[in-house]
Amino acid sequence: MPARFEGRTAIVTAASRGIGLAIAQRLVAEGARVVITARKQDALDEAVAALGGPDRALGIAGRADDASHQAEVVERAIGTFGRADLLVNNAGINPVYGPLMSLDMGAARKMVEVNCLAAVSWTQAVHRSWMADHGGAIVNVSSVSGVRPAPGIAFYGATKAMLIHLTQELAVELAPAVRVNAVAPAVVKTRFAAALYEGREEQVSAAYPLRRLGEPEDIGALVAFLLSDEAGWITGQVIVPDGGITLTGGV
């Protein structure tokens, strides 16, 4: 692995497993130190051990949409590793499935808080404490359901579409010192997405031109590129790693 992130520190939300952990692993493999968040400390402790221990990683439990948690994470990132160069807003929830006409409004409001507003709040916290003076790079993890209709998870897709628009607005506002991009994956094999393929993976993947679902490592590699200096002339973009599924009209 190249040492593209040697001397840099990344904050990755929702990173005790799945896509978030794969992103953290890729960044550590390329020289970064990472601060990861999730709801449960025991899961974070396991992830920190997998990332190489306290010399390479710090895990702090809390809710992604809790402003006090966000402030603590940024403060401890700078206090422990001396900086906060990179931010990955990976936290997202989807507690509902079904048509919009039966959507629970309480759940919908919570989804907006976690999937959209928290990304802005995390960005504010990191920008205020580090990036405003030192620059940096941010990647927001959206979804292919944010770029085209996705029946059954329509409101989740709407929040991810909002995250894409926020990415573009932030890219304009924070340039030139801070770059902001997004990834919008199709189905990736994680616990979060298990209901979309579990027990029928072969059938689901048959619709993809590349004939397979995504792996967390696919997204980790892409996010690492967007955070790196090699992507230094890329901002406000939404990359759709999808195995080709949107070419055939699917999600």
| Catalytic residue list | 156
Q: What is the 3-state secondary structure (H, E, C) of the chain?
A: CCCCCCCCEEEECCCCCHHHHHHHHHHHHCCCEEEEEECCHHHHHHHHHHCCCCCCEEEEECCCCCHHHHHHHHHHHHHHHCCCCEEEECCCCCCCCCCHHHCCHHHHHHHHHHHHHHHHHHHHHHHHHHHHHHCEEEEEECCHHHCCCCCCCHHHHHHHHHHHHHHHHHHHHHCCCEEEEEECCCCECCCCCHHHCCCCHHHHHCCCCCCCCECHHHHHHHHHHHHCHHHCCCCCCEECCCCCHHHHCCC
